[in-house]
Amino acid sequence: MDTPQTPAASPAPDTPVKPLRDRIIDVLKSCYDPEIPVDIYELGLIYEINISDGNDVHILMTLTSPACPVAETLPPDVEQKVRNIPDVNSAKVEITFNPPWDKDMMSEEARMELGFW
């Protein structure tokens, strides 16, 4: 006797898909420097998000310091998470320290979370 299969839930046909840039930001907000309990986007570590016509994504970001212990692991992790977003063709993360990161680059939300008020 066959058991009827329940179809997988799918979005309603009129549900708008978020723009790619917004979906990238959502993914960036899921990435954390393990030493700081605030995501890299709110920390102000993301300087630029560039999306080509072919949906190749280039992210220019920094770290809290050149000696950051996650310098070897965080950028490739961010790159992989962005690459896994539907519609992204490729993703490249470039690290820069110009300008150097400063706590003033954090969002209001991040400053409140870390008690910098």
Q: Where are the domains of the chain?
A: 20-102
* Beta carbons of 67 and 97 less than 8 angstroms apart: no
What's the farthest any 2 CA atoms get from each other in the chain? Answer: 67
Token reading at 8: 């997988």
Q: Rounded CA gap, 92 and 82, in Å?
A: 9
Token reading at 81: 């998470």
Q: What is the pLDDT along the chain (117 residues), one digit of tens a residue?
A: 444 444 444 455 566 779 999 999 999 999 998 888 899 999 999 999 999 999 999 999 999 998 988 999 999 999 999 999 999 999 999 999 999 999 999 999 999 988 876
One-letter identity of residue 31:
C
* Beta carbons of 79 and 93 less than 8 angstroms apart: yes
- Tell me what pLDDT residue 21 has: 97
Q: Rounded CA gap, 42 and 112, in Å?
A: 11
Q: Is the peptide bond before 16 cis (omega within 30 degrees of 0)?
A: no
- Tell me what pLDDT residue 11 has: 52
- CATH 1.10.520.20 for domain 20-102, yes or no, is no
Residue 7's CB is within 10 A of a number of other CB atoms, namely: 6
